[in-house]
């Protein structure tokens, strides 16, 4: 956690900010505390995005999607104000690093841990899909590792499976290229096709097959032949 800068707010809504947990292209996340002493994570969008009505619509959808999923598979939403001058959302604070941070700091995870992580993510995604939602941006930085299992975060580009409330145009790929299925990255995916590659999610966590080799191994789903076969079936 980083200390608050001179240009950062001391409070957002009813929450006093204690420090900055992280930042990204869309906004910053702070550790906050309510008047009753509850610790929360407060996400604030960058001020220039607040002027963009399309972005505000995306932010509302992120909050609504996280509320629908609930606390079993994502940090539960406790409070939010999408209509504020600078929109924000407060969620329960989940103590634990992101999958990306865990691998960056500690290196590849043991095979047994990766199998448990894969099973937990499969359960989380199944629960999300049962609610009629598709996350569309599952990647290591959007997976938190907690004592109770992995949590999915950042539902900013989630899409209802009935095709409503989409902020994207036909033929435009949505998601992080390194973690999208080949069919989705080619912008030709149909509604029934997968929007991400499950094995790619856990691939960065695995130990190399040959530790003496300097070549970076690639997941089976992302090999050239596999991509060609998937696209030829389109």
| Catalytic residue set | 137
Helix segments in 131-232, DSSP class H = 182-185, 198-202, 224-232
User: Left if phi > 0, otherwise alpha if psi is -120 to 50, otherwise beta: which for 109?
Assistant: beta
> Are the CB atoms for 174 and 155 separated by under 8 Å?
no
Alpha carbons 104 and 189: distance in angstroms, whole number? 31
Q: Reduce the DSSP state of residue 72 to 3 states and report it.
A: coil
Question: Which residues 6+ apart lie within 8 Å of 57 measured at CB?
Answer: 167
- Burial pattern 116-125, b for ≥16 Cβ within 10 A else e, equals ebbebbeebb
CB-neighbour burial class of residue 224 (10 A; exposed 0-12, middle 13-18, buried 19+):
exposed
CB 91 within 8 A of CB 43: yes
The residue count of the chain comes to 234
Tokens of residue 148, six digits? 């109770």
Strands 11-12 and 15-23: antiparallel
DSSP 2: B
């Amino acid at each position: 956690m980083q200390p608050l800068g001179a240009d950062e707010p001391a409070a957002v809504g009813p929450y006093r900010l204690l420090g900055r947990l992280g930042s990204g292209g869309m906004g910053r996340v702070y550790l906050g505390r309510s008047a009753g002493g509850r610790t929360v994570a407060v996400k604030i969008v960058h001020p220039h995005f607040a002027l963009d009505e399309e972005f505000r619509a995306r932010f509302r959808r992120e909050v609504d999607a996280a509320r629908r999923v609930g606390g079993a598979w994502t940090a539960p939403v406790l409070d939010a104000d999408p209509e504020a001058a600078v929109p924000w959302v407060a969620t329960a604070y989940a103590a634990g690093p992101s999958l990306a941070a865990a691998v960056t700091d500690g290196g590849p995870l043991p095979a047994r841990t990766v199998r448990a992580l894969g099973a937990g993510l499969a359960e989380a995604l199944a629960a999300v899909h049962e609610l009629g939602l598709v996350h569309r941006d599952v990647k290591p930085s959007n997976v938190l590792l907690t004592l109770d299992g992995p949590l999915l975060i950042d539902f900013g580009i989630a899409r209802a499976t009935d095709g409503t409330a989409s902020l994207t145009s036909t033929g435009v790929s949505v998601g992080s290229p390194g973690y999208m299925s080949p069919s989705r990255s080619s912008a030709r995916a149909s509604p029934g096709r997968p929007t991400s590659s499950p094995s790619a999610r856990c691939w960065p966590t695995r130990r190399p097959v040959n530790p003496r080799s300097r070549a970076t191994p690639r997941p089976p789903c992302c090999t050239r032949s596999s991509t060609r076969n998937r696209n030829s079936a389109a």
